[in-house]
Amino acid sequence: MAVKTILTEPNKLLRQVSLPVEKVGNEEKQLMDDMLETMYEAKGIGLAAIQIGIPKRIIVMDIGSKKKEPMYFINPVIKNKNSEHSTYEEGCLSVPNQFAEVDRPSTCEVEFLDYNGNKKILKASGLLATCIQHEMDHLEGILFIDYLSKLKKMMIVKKLSKQKDKVDRIIV
């Protein structure tokens, strides 16, 4: 396993639509292992492959509070969304140190392939439902800041761009 670099906004790759996985083989398993390690290292609860620059429809998550409970979603599709919404304050490893309230359907049903390529259906609610929807947005090139007002989004992107442009200061 290896910790990979997480891409941050603004970055064109993060806006790319990820492609379906044709078969779950060793390469995909290796990728999921790396993604999980990268996510744990960054202290996140979810990561999509595109966040480490790989445009494949793969997500890893762990919302366990006491022990590690890794979850793997390959080619996830949302079947049912609740018309009722819930609000969480969201952050994203690709939008470092920025948080905002986002409204999403409070429950959803997701069909996906698991780590071993087996078809699964998961009924999600609460944090799990929000997290899976946030991660699935990444597969479409969508970030949570896209749900904010134009002004708020612009301010966040500007702040992130400034952080990126910063050069190291040396005193000699």
Residue whose entry in the numeric block shows the structure tokens 């986002």:
102
Pick 92 or 132: Cβ nearer Ni ion: 92
CB 135 to Ni ion: min, Å: 7
Token representation of residue 1: 């396993």
Tell me which H or E stretch contains 98.
strand 95-105
User: Quick check: 92 binds Ni ion (CB under 5 A)?
Assistant: yes
- Tell me if residue 9 is catalytic: no
| Site mask for Ni ion (CB under 5 A), range 37-56, x = bound | --------------------
SS3 123: strand
User: Quick check: 6 binds Ni ion (CB under 5 A)?
Assistant: no
Which residue among 9, 41, 135, 140 is the active-site one?
135
Site for Ni ion (CB under 5 A): how many residues? 1
Name the region of 75 (left: φ>0; alpha: ψ -120 to 50; beta: rest).
left
User: Quick check: 160 binds Ni ion (CB under 5 A)?
Assistant: no
Segment contacting Ni ion by CB under 5 A, of 12-20, 21-29, 90-98, 125-133: 90-98
SS3 111: strand
Using the Cα atoms of residue 64, residue 13, residue 22 and residue 111 in order, give the sign of their dihedral: positive
* Binders of Ni ion in range 138-157 (CB under 5 A): none
SS3 158: helix
Catalytic residues: 135
Provide the binding-site residues for Ni ion, judged by CB under 5 A.
Answer: 92
